[in-house]
Amino acid sequence: MKKIIVLGGTGFVGAHVCEKLVRDGWEVTLPTRRNANADPVKHLPNLTVLELDIHDDAALNRVVAGHDALVNLVAILHGTQAAFERVHVALPRKIAHAAALAGIKQVVHVSALGADALQPDRAPSMYLRSKGEGEAVLLQAASGAGAGLAAQVCFDLSILRPSVIFGAQDKFINLFAKLQQVLPVMPLAGAQAKFQPVWVEDVASAVLRCLAGASAAPSPRIIEVAGPEVFTLKQLVQLAARLSGVAGGFGRPVIALPQWAGRLQATLMGLAPGEPMMSLDNLDSMKLDNIATGQQPGLKSLGITASALQPIAQDYLTRNQIGSGLMGLRQRSH
């Protein structure tokens, strides 16, 4: 049985990836800072949870040893320059070193649409710049040119660049639906920014197809992971309302904010306690449309037909409604 280590496997995408891996016969190692974070997946067979800090070089080197492949899903959407550097650049550098020491044969790294490994400084946000820099680190290592790595050491590398990812536990479509349940109007920064939402199951399938060698593109390869439709942010907000039945399916009035007002909104949201719904850096990322460029292979190159947003989102948004399912049946019987 082949062994794989999944970094970031306790998150939204990671849970789907881990499930597909064990179904495909992989023995999965899942490191996490806190064992409780792995509760959604620890029941899976042939999956081992290890409590450790993957940012610790020695700990990462130890846990990677003995595996055939590695998947990196670790990412943050909000933070300081130092935080983005630590997660998106320094960690891939540590991964490259650990993979070289362990003789890892395959690495799949999930990045983001808009990242540019060749010219990362041209990206409009800290998030995208750091994503591009992290890609560059791994691309160098895969070719044996990484700093501190022996020239003969390399691994098969697949970099996946997804658009915004949707699914039953997402924090994107669900967030817009919930906000419109409580707000009388929806003031919206970046209303005209474009996205090409991709289903989490398609992203997880892309990871497995890369590991199976489904791509005809030589390593290192970059694959754009996007859905079949392009939406503006405003259209996605309106669709979330319609599918979740807010205001009889009509949703709330969406007010597209001018740039100055949008930046003020993002600044205030970024100052709120807890994880912000939006930050200035998020708004900067939206200066670049989050859609496939067509300059790299897409899901079709892996034999995957991208799933449309509406029927899938309608299913999970309907199930999330208070009036649906058994609870709704009980309420309507009184």
> What's 331's DSSP letter?
H
Q: What is the CATH number of the domain that holds 243?
A: 3.90.25
Nearest alpha-carbon partner for 48 in 66, 58, 159, 56: 66
Sheet arrangement for strand 156-162: 47-51, 27-32, 3-7, 69-72, 106-110, 156-162, 221-225
Burial category of 98 from C-beta neighbours within 10 Å (exposed 0-12, middle 13-18, buried 19 and up) = buried
Q: Is residue 16 domain-shared with residue 114, that is, in the same domain? A: yes
3-18, pLDDT tens digit by residue?
Answer: 999 999 999 999 999 9
pLDDT, position 322: 45
C-alpha span between 2 and 327 (Å, rounded): 44
* Residue 150 contacts residue 100 (beta carbons within 8 Å): yes
User: pTM for the full model?
Assistant: 0.92
Task: Tell me: pLDDT of 334 over 90.
Answer: no
Q: Are residues 63 and 13 located together in one domain of the fold?
A: yes
Q: Are residues 132 and 87 in the same domain?
A: yes
For residue 150, pLDDT over 60 is answered with no
CATH number at residue 51: 3.40.50.720
Domain count, the chain: 2
Bridge partners (DSSP) listed for residue 187: 255
Residue 299 included in any domain? no
Residue 270 lies in a domain: yes
Q: Are 75 and 8 in contact (CB under 8 A)?
A: yes
Judgement on whether residues 172 and 83 belong to the same structural domain of the protein: no
Co-location of 131 and 244 in the same domain: no
d(CA 30, CA 50): 6
All residues at 6 or more sequence positions from 213 whose CB lies less than 8 Å from its CB, including other chains = none
- Distance (Å, whole) CA 269 – CA 287: 18
Residue 301 domain-assigned (yes or no): no
d(CA 95, CA 50): 17
302, part of any domain: no
Residue 15: inside a domain, yes or no? yes
- In the prediction, which pLDDT does 212 show? 96
Q: What is the pLDDT of residue 146?
A: 56
| 209 and 117 in a common domain | yes
Give the whole-angstrom CA distance, residue 255 versus residue 251. Answer: 12
Q: 202 and 316: one domain? A: no
149 contacts: CB under 8 Å, gap ≥ 6? 96, 97, 100, 141
**Predicted pLDDT of residue 195:** 98
Shared domain for 35 and 176, answered yes or no, is no
Q: By residue range, what is the domain housing residue 316?
A: 168-195+229-290+307-320
- Give yes or no: residues 220 and 284 share one domain: no
The residue among 243, 208, 203 whose CA lies nearest residue 227 is: 203
Q: Give the domain-ending residue among 225, 242, 269.
A: 225
Rounded-to-integer distance, Cα 331 and Cα 292, Å? 44
The stretch 302-325 carries a mean pLDDT of 83
Q: Tell me the pLDDT tens digit for each residue of 257-306.
A: 999 999 998 888 877 777 888 899 999 999 999 999 999 999 999 999 99
pLDDT mean across residues, the chain: 91
Residues 143 and 283 in one domain: no
Percent of the chain with pLDDT over 90: 83
- Does residue 172 share a domain with residue 156? no
The reply to whether 329 falls in a domain is no
Higher pLDDT, 229 or 331: 229
- Do residue 101 and residue 72 come from a single domain? yes
220 closest CA partner among 114, 143, 132: 143
- Residue 59 lies inside a defined structural domain of this protein: yes
Average pLDDT over residues 85-113: 96
Per-residue pLDDT tens for 186-233?
999 999 999 999 999 999 999 999 999 999 999 999 999 999 999 999
Question: 22 pLDDT exceeds 90?
Answer: yes
Report if residue 283 sits inside a domain: yes
